[in-house]
Chain A
Amino acid sequence: DTAVSQTPKYLVTQMGNDKSIKCEQNLGHDTMYWYKQDSKKFLKIMFSYNNKELIINETVPNRFSPKSPDKAHLNLHINSLELGDSAVYFCASSPQRGFGGELFFGEGSRLTVL
């Protein structure tokens, strides 16, 4: 069984479109994250939810909107896609809320904006 699963794995779309990435974890963790990895492999946190509550919201354009319908799911919706949004987006979960507990990552969703 996959612990943290993301869909889709690959996403190719045109500038200006709206797209969503879904994430589900079956580990029973309370905390989930979205990270963005750019072409240079830098991994930057975007959002974190703890039991459906937003607890981290980094300086991310408001075109990005996370949604957590329950503690096992954290989706990412992106409006008006731009070329610079091209990256690999990783969902992760953690059994603890604070101070850098071990993260369990999904396999990533590679977004390409043309």
Chain B
Amino acid sequence: SQQGEEDPQALSIQEGENATMNCSYKTSINNLQWYRQNSGRGLVHLILIRSNEREKHSGRLRVTLDTSKKSSSLLITASRAADTASYFCATGGNTGGFKTIFGAGTRLFVKA
């Protein structure tokens, strides 16, 4: 079964607005990662947050992790049309062995 589940499934916003995507997972993890997938392309790694970290920043991206709630959020600030893509959370941990397990993704559409 899928480990991570993103919410919402789809999100449409205006350029300049912030976009928040959430991810919930079921078992203990070592780290949680976010990836972006543009239409028809491969996934690109955005950011990794370890289980002992609560927040991490990278440019316009902010990721939070709450291991007590088994959830993470990805915030994209001042969104641009080029941010239009699907965003996936992925978990890596002791459960499941040497695997990174992906959620179903959030489809973000940023209108210019």
Contact = CB atoms under 8 A, between A and B. Distances in A.
- Are A and B physically bound partners? yes
Interface of A: 4, 31, 35, 40-45, 48, 50, 55-56, 90, 92, 94, 97-108
A100 B44 contact: no
B42 A90 contact: yes
A99 B98 contact: yes
Contact of B41 (A40, A41, A107): A107
A92 B88 CA distance: 15
Interface size class of B (residues with CB under 8 A): 20 to 34
Interface of B: 2, 29-31, 33, 35, 40-45, 48, 86, 88, 90-94, 97-102, 104-105, 107
B43 A56 contact: no
Given A43-B102, A56-B98, A100 B41 contact: no
Contacts of A40: 104
Contacts of B92: 99-101
Nearest to B29: A100
Given A99-B31, A100-B91, A41 B86 contact: yes
